[in-house]
Amino acid sequence: MAEENQGNTESKPQTKQNNNNRKPNPNRKPNTNKSAGEKGSGNKPNPNKSKNRNRYRRQPTPVDENLKSFVQKNQDGHKKRLNPHYKLDLNSNAKIRITPLGGLGEIGGNITVFETEKEAILVDVGMSFPDEDMHGVDILVPDFSYIREIRKKIVAVIITHAHEDHIGAMPYLYKEMQFPIYATPLPLAMIGNKFDEHHIKEARRHFNPVEKRKIYQIGEDFEIEWMHMTHSIIDSSSLAITTKAGTVIHTGDFKIDHTPVDGYTADLHRLAYYGDKGVLCLLSDSTNSYNPLPTPSELNVGPALDRVFAKAEGRILLSTFSSNIHRVYQAIQYGIKYGRKICVIGRSMERNIEIAMQYDYIKFPKNIFIEADEVSQMNDKDVLIVTTGSQGEPSSALFRMSIGEHRHIKIKPTDLIVLSSRAIPGNEGSISGMLNHLQKAGAKVASDKDIHVSGHASIEEQKLMLRLTNPKFFLPVHGEYNHVMRHKDTGIMCGVPERNILLMTDGEQIEIAPKFMRKVKTVKTGKTYIDNQNNHQIEDDIVLDRQKLASDGIVMIVAQVDSQTSKMLAKPRVTTFGIVADKQDKYFAKEMEDVLEHFLLHMKEHLISNTRALENDLRQIVRKHIYRKMKKYPLIVPNVFVQ
């Protein structure tokens, strides 16, 4: 109230001349006129309304025009700083095309093509896992049709990090066509292992290891920088991909971990550098776009593991994703703290720890490790087993232990099983099944929430990424449709206009120039089915047949027909699987015989000399009949011998 200046009609707005006059305005009178309305009138209705209104019709506080001009300057500054539009070369006609061939509308199988007029690069070449109805299929590899089509344009494969959903399809691509590979050392070491396993060791000659914070000229059109990123695997990167059209930032998979286990925080400075310079487009990880709480640091898992380990009375068996080197590192650290020797079991776990140690990402004294066959000679309290199987995979070490089929490790009632992981959607059933086995064997299972943290950014970290890079266009990636949709909302909240955000699906080609972004076409995408036993492809029609067999069964009909009379020479032989019960076989066979007889009776005459057409027609008739009666579409295999 002291600032009130009611009734002071002499105070004029300040002019330019007295701009620098910081002295108190002599015309200002201190307010001594406390009106009745102020004295504790509270919320009571004021009987003296008109007088009160008068009180507010006062002279405004004088405005310092100089201060005001600085407000304007700062507002202009904000506009320049925050509106990426002004940082791009709007006269440029250059364009870049971006085509996801996997990783959108699905979890996994990440592969994205970046294309200029003359050249192209692939970013990541990942695999994914099949649905339960893809019988006998172990992994899925993206359809390479579009890559074949533009093969001549491709100057390099660029890798962000070493997760299977980003490198798992590399050997399948490289068996067919090979390009230079640019990546940091860990992804290359892991890809190298895959090449060896697939007997294409010589493909290692395409390796080009990169240093972070350096800009690599790749082909003639691309300049690429790898920026260090935190994620659930070490040595991850975001990419700054610069072409004549501008810079595209591809986050890769990320979370913003301010206290990573190795102390190597995300390179926010480089992201900010590009954001300040001007970013044409951001492609950002949408996996956790529903999560409002910040993703905890990997370091948070340590104390939780400590707490769980402290209570263990017998052996500890810890299972996690074998690629999460820092998790494994922390687990081993706490194992050592409690005087335990470490036994690593499971092929991928052994291999990943070996690589991480070979390349000095982690260090342990050699004498802490023991072999699986030494475990039985040790005191239970002195053993930590680190193993695979956190997803309940039937071939994993932990699963085999749970059903008593592991050669060296039998589960005991004093064992503590620590599952330091979450269920990947779709794996809940197999994990639950494994837990049942483990608990039946008497083991205790710890799966406290805080013994696992996610490797992906939550909403707040997604906001930070959007603000740091400050893109003109935004393509939320890495997730199913509902994830990218939610990420779009976050993008809008962070100042990207809705019209500058596109939700892509696999195969959609987006063209981006400093002035516009649009969908241009759709290219062929899909999945190739792989049988892991022999690393060979399974053709689509085989999988379709298996699905049909599994859901609807099969009917086989063998008949002999007289070419003269068009009549059956003997009763047809009918065999079925998965369609009628054994005890109804005879009845069903009779039914088929009637159908066949009726068919032959009414059959067009020329068919008798064309067995193939005859069988086709018969198949249609049988299909209709079975569908009418059973509402099923079994595989129908007619064999008609005309004699």
Which residues sit at the interface with Zn ion, rule CB under 5 A?
163, 253
The answer to whether 334 and 309 are in contact (CB under 8 A) is: yes
Type of residue at 95: K
Q: Distance (Å, rounded) from C-alpha 285 to C-alpha 340? A: 38
Give backbone dihedrals phi and psi of 503, rounded to 5 degrees, phi first: -100, 110
Closest to Zn ion by CB, 108 vs 275, is: 108
Closest to Zn ion by CB, 287 vs 509, is: 287
The answer to whether 344 and 353 are in contact (CB under 8 A) is: yes
Q: How far is the CB of 164 from Zn ion (least distance, A)?
A: 9
- 247 pairs with which residues across the strands? 242
Closest to Zn ion by CB, 107 vs 542, is: 107
Q: How far is the CB of 161 from Zn ion (least distance, A)?
A: 6
Q: Tell me the helix, strand and coil percentages in the chain, rounded to 5.
A: 40, 20, 40
Q: How far is the CB of 478 from Zn ion (least distance, A)?
A: 8
Closest to Zn ion by CB, 100 vs 638, is: 100
Q: How far is the CB of 163 from Zn ion (least distance, A)?
A: 4
- Report the SS3 class of residue 155: strand
Q: How far is the CB of 514 from Zn ion (least distance, A)?
A: 31
* Continuous segment of H or E residues that includes residue 342: strand 341-345
Q: How far is the CB of 231 from Zn ion (least distance, A)?
A: 6
Closest to Zn ion by CB, 400 vs 456, is: 456
| Farthest-apart Cα atoms in the chain, separation | 126
CA angle 483, 487, 491 (to 5 degrees): 170
Closest to Zn ion by CB, 161 vs 472, is: 161
Q: How far is the CB of 487 from Zn ion (least distance, A)?
A: 16
Closest to Zn ion by CB, 87 vs 456, is: 456
Q: How far is the CB of 480 from Zn ion (least distance, A)?
A: 16
Alpha carbon 373 to chain centroid, angstroms? 38
For residue 492, count CB atoms less than 10 angstroms from its CB and return exposed for 0-12, middle for 13-18, buried for 19 or more. Answer: middle
Q: How far is the CB of 103 from Zn ion (least distance, A)?
A: 11
For residue 155, count CB atoms less than 10 angstroms from its CB and return exposed for 0-12, middle for 13-18, buried for 19 or more. Answer: buried
The answer to whether 613 and 607 are in contact (CB under 8 A) is: yes
Closest to Zn ion by CB, 124 vs 552, is: 124
The answer to whether 579 and 557 are in contact (CB under 8 A) is: no
Closest to Zn ion by CB, 116 vs 160, is: 160
Q: Distance (Å, rounded) from C-alpha 228 to C-alpha 265? A: 8
- 71 pairs with which residues across the strands? none
Q: Distance (Å, rounded) from C-alpha 13 to C-alpha 6? A: 15
